[in-house]
Structure 1
């Protein structure tokens, strides 16, 4: 019985697919109309999303905007490089004081040990005052970097939003294709329910 049911369903599916192959193509082709738009909007490579794709398409012939884009990219990269350099210097100094204090604790002579611990404390206290100022400046750099990113993102949204809206208007998705397809599914569902 199961084999007969399976064979019937398979036969119906194949026949349905053959009959309606051109119908399915019509549904897919008619899902959108007026496929013309000012910018070719499509999924780009994995390295570039549609938002940035539209933006770079918009600025590719505008030397002034390309120059601003280049400046923003360079200053953001430089901010990261500066942060890495200072982070490295601070981390190396922190490591030094940690290791030196452990070394000083291992000195047998209590007078010499105390003298070395005091020297290290005096040096590290002076250093950490400098580091505090550096941390404040790094914080300012981070705030500026975030502000640049935010303003740049807002600019890109303003520049690209009209293009995606043009694209959407040029590609109005008609619901009649979906309704028609749902009707086709419902007919097949009814046929399957009536199989015995």
Structure 2
């Protein structure tokens, strides 16, 4: 099998060559430059690329746009702050409600263990009456909480939609500047087929 060692050399050399059909971002006119190139980083695997965050391509591309557009950055900060404020504000109300809700659940659980059925019915009746009164008193705040949660979900969905529309042109620029001809891949396949033929002859 020694005679096949030299056949691996062309492929190894070929794999190290830069694909001349790929345009460099720095060499492009400003209207063709894309931000996708800025988020790519080389991994230890030459056939794999990793990205700066685990948030995904849309978020990574959008983060590059934020660096270039102060208005976008301001909007992003406002929405992030609103999400934080929404969570913090709602949690105050929910924590108070949770204490009472947990109390009624705990009391109900205890009455199920009563051996005296008359006592159980008496306690259950009092607890149900108290629970219904509390539910009526807190119905308004629960509705507000539900509305606030719905609003922030709608805001975030709209913002994600906005991000997609803002980043779509960037990925399309990237696609346009990375259009390949088939010369190099055809050369590679020719080298592969040559080795495959030699291997078959060696059997």
TM-score (norm 1): 0.76
Match of 1:18 in 2: 9
Match of 1:4 in 2: none
- Alpha-carbon distance between aligned partners in 1 of 2:54 and 2:120, rounded to the nearest angstrom: 60
Q: Which runs of 5+ in 1 are unaligned?
A: 1-7
Q: Which has the higher contact order (CA 8 A, sep 6+)?
A: 1
Match of 2:150 in 1: 143
User: Structure 1 residues 112 and 157, CA, compared in 2 at 3 Å: closer, same or farther?
Assistant: closer
Match of 1:34 in 2: 23
TM-score (norm 2): 0.74
Count, aligned residues: 184
- Alpha-carbon distance between aligned partners in 1 of 2:119 and 2:10, rounded to the nearest angstrom: 99
- Alpha-carbon distance between aligned partners in 1 of 2:3 and 2:145, rounded to the nearest angstrom: 71
- Alpha-carbon distance between aligned partners in 2 of 1:187 and 1:130, rounded to the nearest angstrom: 82
Report if the CA contact (8 A) 2:66-2:73 is conserved.
yes
Match of 1:45 in 2: 52
Q: Which runs of 5+ in 2 are unaligned?
A: 26-32, 41-49
Q: Which of 127, 130, 134 in structure 2 is aligned with 1:123? A: 130
Of the two, which has the highest radius of gyration?
A: 1
RMSD: 2.9
Q: Is the counterpart of residue 75 in structure 1 residue 82 in structure 2?
A: yes
- Alpha-carbon distance between aligned partners in 1 of 2:168 and 2:110, rounded to the nearest angstrom: 62
